[in-house]
Structure 1
């Protein structure tokens, strides 16, 4: 585990190491601040001091589940790490790997494939909840937890290793089952939005075997969503 004071992006740094073949599974890089953090769909990730900005790497081994399924591994691991510090909070996983606490976003997860490795970037609001227009945001401190970024990462790295071992040993169906126990319930009203801003609403009807979101429209049609943002309610 390595910590730097400031960098553009921990994901970019770990990707560079992966391209050089000089980083092994289990390595974690944390930055105290970032100048160019990126979230899903290319969004800027606000990076004030006091929050967690980190990346790790997973080797793609023969016999592993599909690398794309690591998105659910990361979501479950981060959820469980947060839950350990907020045992009584209202929390849900939101497809595919967002975590809402008291109805507000608390983290961001970004996976990027580099040759035979996947770089997993994770940002968690620990001390500060950034102001983001049009989006409810919270932090561990705002929800009553007393933990700093290094302490949270120590817990997260342990939890991530456990969930990743379950992914390898018990398979992706096991991880999907765990994910669905922690997520919005079947029947929840969901609106999806694609990269063009087009929206579709319906009832959440579970996940496919490869993790796509199933949405039942008002006319009974069942569709599968494989990319985009969702809102609940």
Structure 2
């Protein structure tokens, strides 16, 4: 079920508060908002408002038999790519950047944030359907730049259905198919990327695919291959 509200601070925060209060929010339920005043992305970045854009959150209740919950980031990226990729006409190409940024060229079209709340995980997604927010540290782009902006409610229904199907595949078939799908949707191997490593600073190299566990492989200029398990990659 999709619940629409006119305005809130953050759909992720709203669902987290309900979970913290003891409510069991069902998987498959989404909270979608018209206007959002306190949305956020990874590393505390603001990702607010945007009339006509998609801003919504849902809840996952991991079980002991599920793949590692950190791979939900890859799963969310793949599901979102399936929906958006069908709506952006060529020659534009929608690609994933590890772990789950949706990019067109060097511009960000969508963002994903997963937050643990007790035994549950809250998944928040923001997609630039009608307009692209101005961000100080990166270029952004909206789907409206390639034609009429998709209807927000129709987009929400398609995304909810895709997420439900992919969540079931993740639980049934494990990581191998997910890693293959993610690599097929991502920038090609050999793409120049950089990562910020705690205690080490910035390292740069070329994308060399994913490990079996879903970490990004970065081939450094000296030939060493590093597995990036946390943080994010940027185009170098």
- Same fold? TM cut 0.5: yes
Matched residues in 1 for 2:80 and 2:195: separation?
Answer: 23
Matched residues in 2 for 1:138 and 1:17: separation?
Answer: 33
Structure 1: where are the runs of 5+ without partners?
Answer: none
- The 1:174/1:95 distance shift into structure 2, 3 A limit, reads same
| Worse overlay, 84-93 or 151-160 | 84-93
Q: Which of residues 81, 84, 108 in structure 2 aligns to 1:82? A: 84
Partner of 1:56: 58
Q: CA deviation at 1:115?
A: 2.2
1:167-224 deviation per Cα after TM superposition (whole angstroms, max 9, x unaligned)? 0111112111100011111222111135789311012122122211111111111212
The answer as to 2:18 corresponding to 1:2 is no
The alignment of Structure 1 onto Structure 2 pairs a total of residues equal to: 233
- The 1:197/1:230 distance shift into structure 2, 3 A limit, reads farther
Partner of 1:34: 36
Partner of 2:215: 212
Structure 2: where are the runs of 5+ without partners?
Answer: none
Segments ≥4 residues shifted beyond 3 Å:
194-197
| Worse overlay, 98-107 or 190-199 | 190-199
**Does the aligned pair in 2 maintain the 1:195–1:228 contact within 8 Å?**
no
Q: CA deviation at 1:232?
A: 2.5
1:130-172 deviation per Cα after TM superposition (whole angstroms, max 9, x unaligned)? 1222411111111224412211111101111111111011111
2:146 counterpart SS class: coil
1:79-120 deviation per Cα after TM superposition (whole angstroms, max 9, x unaligned)? 111012114231110000001124310111000112222110
| Worse overlay, 25-34 or 132-141 | 132-141
Partner of 1:23: 25
Q: CA deviation at 1:65?
A: 0.6
Matched residues in 1 for 2:29 and 2:115: separation?
Answer: 15
For residues 113-132 of structure 1, the aligned pairs below 5 Å read 113-132=116-135
Alpha carbon RMSD of aligned pairs, Å?
A: 1.7
**Does the aligned pair in 2 maintain the 1:86–1:145 contact within 8 Å?**
no
Q: TM-score, normalised by structure 1?
A: 0.94
Partner of 2:115: 112
Q: Which of residues 91, 95, 99 in structure 2 aligns to 1:96? A: 99
1:47 counterpart SS class: coil
1:142 counterpart SS class: helix
**Does the aligned pair in 2 maintain the 1:186–1:206 contact within 8 Å?**
yes
